[in-house]
């Protein structure tokens, strides 16, 4: 019997996410690859680990029996990796984040890194995802936390979850209580980020589903300023509701929309030579912070 960590990791994520497809996305591998890993694991163990008859991957009794041990194996592997010199970031970390991450997770992350890795110097860059990914590809950054990153040669991507994005508008607006459609907002003022940003692209694609263009699109490269404008009753915007400050939250309404806003995946992308146990720690820390703040779906 030759169990591998890749097999155990695949088993863990399928059990957690409930599907082979979702687990493959989480691990940035193909579905046939993850299916092959589970086939080999089941063959080596001599039992079936998942019941797929209902459309979801549900643990069999045999799968439930090994779930805890699988989690312990992965935790131990992370500890071993973190204890090695290769698993530690040293010197300068050039870290790029999109503004939503800067608002929600960056202060906590920097505080934690300062406390646990005092020898690490951090150089920060806050920008839209397209700029950060370009700088990462050009080796101007070591790590970028952004949306919809794609793995490429020399760059590893770890998906963290789907960002909670919603249409936000003034709480006093007559449309409150209605399901928003592109037609409802075509005559309203829309505040957006640069077209190369995830939010800019999301807004554009949403209106394109109805083959229409809003009459007023105002660019604003600050989400905090955008939220102030919305709270003042001046227009609508797409953003993560969790970043809204408590002192203006009662003046902003979250709208349901039809069609739904496109889903965007928050990811950590890093140069292969930078990837380490500390990089994994940053990914987990940001994901956990976003979940705590209900900023991931």
Please report whether residue 110 resides in a domain.
Answer: yes
- The residue to which tokens 């131990």 are assigned: 76
If asked whether residues 170 and 251 sit together in one domain, one would say yes
Q: Which of 26, 53, 83 is the last residue of a domain?
A: 83
Q: What is the CATH number of the domain that holds 74?
A: 1.10.10.10
- The residue to which tokens 């604003």 are assigned: 220
Closest by CA position to 70, among listed 113, 119, 109, 12: 12
If asked whether residues 125 and 59 sit together in one domain, one would say no
Give the Cβ contact number of residue 1 at 10 Å: 6
Q: Which of 24, 48, 83 is the last residue of a domain?
A: 83
Whether 161 contacts 287, CB under 8 Å: yes
d(CA 259, CA 95): 35
Q: Which domain holds residue 194?
A: 166-255
Closest by CA position to 70, among listed 83, 81, 59, 86: 59
If asked whether residues 92 and 79 sit together in one domain, one would say no
If asked whether residues 118 and 186 sit together in one domain, one would say no
Q: What is the CATH number of the domain that holds 170?
A: 3.40.190.10
If asked whether residues 143 and 273 sit together in one domain, one would say yes
pLDDT for residue 80: 73
Helix (H, G, I), strand (E, B) or coil at 234: coil
Please report whether residue 297 resides in a domain.
Answer: no
If asked whether residues 170 and 152 sit together in one domain, one would say no
Closest by CA position to 28, among listed 154, 151, 147: 151
Instruction: Dig out the tokens for 266 from the structure.
Output: 């928050």
pLDDT for residue 216: 86
d(CA 156, CA 270): 5
Please report whether residue 242 resides in a domain.
Answer: yes
Per-residue pLDDT for the chain (297 aa), expressed as one digit of tens each? 678 988 999 999 899 888 998 888 878 788 899 999 999 999 999 999 999 888 889 999 999 999 989 988 888 887 776 555 455 565 788 999 999 999 999 999 999 999 888 888 899 999 998 899 999 998 899 999 999 888 788 888 999 999 999 999 999 999 999 999 999 999 999 999 887 788 888 999 999 999 988 888 888 888 999 999 999 999 999 999 999 999 999 999 999 999 999 888 999 999 887 787 788 889 999 999 999 999 988
If asked whether residues 270 and 149 sit together in one domain, one would say yes
Give the Cβ contact number of residue 9 at 10 Å: 19
Please report whether residue 260 resides in a domain.
Answer: no
pLDDT for residue 148: 80
If asked whether residues 14 and 74 sit together in one domain, one would say yes
* Domains in the chain, number: 3
Give the Cβ contact number of residue 266 at 10 Å: 28
pLDDT for residue 25: 83
Query: Is 157 buried (19+), middle (13-18) or exposed (0-12) by CB count in 10 A?
Result: buried
DSSP H helices in the chain: 5-17, 20-27, 31-45, 61-83, 99-104, 106-116, 129-137, 182-185, 198-208, 223-231, 277-292
pLDDT for residue 266: 94
Please report whether residue 221 resides in a domain.
Answer: yes
Helix (H, G, I), strand (E, B) or coil at 157: strand
If asked whether residues 241 and 278 sit together in one domain, one would say no
If asked whether residues 62 and 201 sit together in one domain, one would say no
Please report whether residue 128 resides in a domain.
Answer: yes
If asked whether residues 196 and 272 sit together in one domain, one would say no
d(CA 144, CA 136): 7
Q: Which of 26, 60, 83 is the last residue of a domain?
A: 83
Please report whether residue 217 resides in a domain.
Answer: yes
If asked whether residues 75 and 139 sit together in one domain, one would say no
């Amino acid at each position: 019997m030759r169990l591998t960590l890749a097999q155990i990791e695949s088993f863990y994520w399928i059990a957690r996410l409930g599907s082979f497809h979702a687990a493959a996305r989480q691990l940035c591998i193909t579905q046939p690859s993850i299916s092959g890993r589970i086939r080999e694991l089941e063959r080596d163990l001599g039992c079936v680990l998942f019941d797929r008859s209902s459309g979801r991957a549900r643990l069999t009794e045999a799968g439930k029996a090994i779930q805890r041990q699988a989690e312990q194996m992965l935790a131990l592997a992370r500890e071993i990796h973190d204890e090695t010199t290769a698993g530690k970031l040293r010197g300068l970390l050039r870290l790029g984040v999109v503004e939503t991450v800067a608002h929600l997770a960056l202060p906590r992350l920097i505080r934690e890194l300062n406390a646990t890795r005092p020898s690490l110097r951090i150089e920060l860059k806050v920008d839209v995802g397209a700029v950060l990914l370009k700088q990462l590809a050009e080796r101007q950054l070591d790590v970028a936390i952004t949306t919809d990153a794609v793995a490429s040669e020399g760059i590893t991507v770890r998906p963290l979850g789907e960002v909670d994005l919603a249409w936000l508008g003034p709480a006093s607006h007559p449309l409150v209580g209605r399901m928003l459609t592109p037609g409802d907002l075509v005559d309203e003022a829309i505040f957006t980020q640069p077209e190369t940003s995830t939010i800019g692209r999301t807004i554009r694609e949403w209106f394109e589903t109805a083959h229409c263009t809003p009459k007023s699109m105002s660019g604003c490269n600050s989400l905090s300023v955008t939220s102030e404008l919305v709270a003042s009753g001046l227009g609508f915007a797409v953003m993560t509701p969790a970043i809204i400050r408590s002192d203006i939250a009662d003046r902003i309404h979250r709208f349901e929309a039809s069609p739904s806003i496109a889903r965007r995946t928050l990811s950590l992308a890093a140069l292969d030579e930078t990837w380490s146990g500390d990089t994994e720690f940053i990914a987990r820390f940001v994901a956990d912070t976003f979940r705590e703040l209900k900023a991931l779906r």
